[in-house]
Amino acid sequence: MMRLMRSMLLAGAVAVFAVAAQAGPLKAPALEGWLQNYGAAWSARDAAAAGRLFTGEAIYHENAFEAPMRGRAAIEEYWARVTADQRDVKFESQVVSVNGNTGVATWKASFKLRSTGATIALDGVFVLEFDEQGACKSLREWWFVKAG
pLDDT tens by residue, 27-43: 999 999 999 999 999 99
Angle, alpha carbons 31-146-75 (nearest 5°): 45
Residue 17 lies in a domain: no
Structural domain boundaries, residue 122: 25-147
Tens-digit pLDDT profile for residues 118-139: 999 999 999 999 999 999 999 9
Q: What residues contact 73, with CB distance under 8 A and at least 6 apart?
A: 51
Residue range 46-53: average pLDDT? 98
CATH of the domain at 133: 3.10.450.50
